[in-house]
Copies of this chain bind each other. A is one copy, B any other.
Amino acid sequence: MKNKIFNSFDEAVAGLPDGSTVMFPGFGGVGLPRNLIAALHRQGAKNLTGVSNNAGALDDKVDVGTLVEAGQMKKMICAFTAATHPSRVTPFVEMYNKDEIDAELVPQGTLAERMRAAGAGIGGFYTPSSVGTELAEGKEHREINGRMHVLEHPLFGDYAFIRAWKADTFGNLQFRLTQRNFNVVMAMAATVTIVEVENEIVEAGELDPDHIHVPGIYVDRIVTIPPDGIWY
């Protein structure tokens, strides 16, 4: 079996080229691969396009906003470009207002489904979400069974950074509760999937085949979070 286990986050993200599209899961801070993001920050790749639910929060923890602030991102594709509260100005908002970073705002369900389509080999799909709004302007419309839909396209990644609960040596992954969020579709949509895992990596065969959330065929590199890693 191919060895997918890497000894450090720095080794796991080494060689990630400038200009890559990188997918970052996480919702409310849960399932967010903070250790891999910190390693990418140290690694320094530039002109990246990020795919993420938001463009970074405003706390002292490492998240997508850390890469934005460091000038590593040229564009964010996400469901929130504004900060969650108008009074809080994130690094992203500051740069966005000065046109120093680009953004594509996507309804959250469409964002998830576009990644699922990329992973599932679907060339495009029609959704009723966003019809009648500014975000549907310029998109192809089609009435299906009396209801208007817009055409949406698959969203591929070069890399997905994943935060998992358990992994085996083949790369099979399990998530715990709402940690799952975007992790599954991002692992499917990206060419190279890199995982930080909260538990020791177990031998193939130790995870129940009925309860694998991401099959190992989608997973390329796995690192166990060390005791001094970023846990929350």
Q: Could you list which residues of chain A lie within 8 angstroms of chain B, going by C-beta atoms?
A: 113, 117, 120-128, 142, 144-145, 147, 149, 153, 174-177, 180, 208-211, 213
Which residue in B117, B142, B176, B213 is a CB contact (below 8 Å) of A123? B142
Among residues of B, the one whose C-beta sits closest to the C-beta of A180 is B210
Specify which of A117, A122, A144, A175 lies most central, judged by the most chain B CB atoms within 10 Å of its CB.
A122
- Residues of chain B lying within 8 A (CB to CB) of residue A121: 127-128
Q: Which 10 A-B pairs have the closest CB atoms?
A: A123-B126, A123-B144, A123-B149, A125-B125, A211-B211, A124-B126, A122-B125, A124-B144, A176-B210, A122-B127
Q: Nearest chain B CB to A131's CB is how many angstroms away?
A: 10
In the assembled complex, the Cα of A5 lies from the Cα of B10 at a distance in Å of 53
In the assembled complex, the Cα of A157 lies from the Cα of B145 at a distance in Å of 15
Among residues of B, the one whose C-beta sits closest to the C-beta of A149 is B123
The answer to whether B210 and A175 have CB atoms under 8 Å apart is yes
Which residue in B123, B153, B208 is a CB contact (below 8 Å) of A128? B123
Among residues of B, the one whose C-beta sits closest to the C-beta of A122 is B125
The answer to whether A117 and B125 have CB atoms under 8 Å apart is yes
- Residues of chain B lying within 8 A (CB to CB) of residue A174: 210
Q: Nearest chain B CB to A145's CB is how many angstroms away?
A: 7
- Residues of chain B lying within 8 A (CB to CB) of residue A208: 211
- Residues of chain B lying within 8 A (CB to CB) of residue A113: 120, 122
Q: Nearest chain B CB to A191's CB is how many angstroms away?
A: 15
- Residues of chain B lying within 8 A (CB to CB) of residue A210: 174-177, 180, 211, 213
- Residues of chain B lying within 8 A (CB to CB) of residue A122: 113, 125-127
